[in-house]
Amino acid sequence: MAAGWEREAQVVNVGMGGACLLVSEQLDVGDRVTLSFLAPTLWDPLAIPARVVWTLAPDPPIVRAGLAFEPTEAAAIFALFELVATLAY
């Protein structure tokens, strides 16, 4: 993946450990990405570093990818917790 690459993706599932998403371009296992969420409880997007842990392309060009979050800040972890809790309702 090239530096500065930015695409919209559909998040299929999200939890505290990671997310599953659908994206229109190939991601490779081991790629490092930053997933940004727009959340109604936050002023700024929640940006969480992640690593691609699996991919599946059952319906090309759509790729399903599993991401493992690798947050580096406690505030991001708390914001993710609030986002996941909000989505549960």
**How confident is the model over 24-79, as pLDDT tens digits?**
988 999 999 999 988 777 788 889 999 999 999 888 889 999 999 999 889 888 88
With a CB cutoff of 8 Å and minimum separation 6, the contacts of 71 are: 48, 49, 77, 80
**Is the pLDDT assigned to residue 89 strictly greater than 60?**
no
Looking at the domain 10-87, which fold is it? Answer: Thrombin, subunit H (2.40.10)
**Is the pLDDT assigned to residue 88 strictly greater than 70?**
no
**Is the pLDDT assigned to residue 85 strictly greater than 60?**
yes
Closest CA to 63 of 19, 9, 18, 13: 9
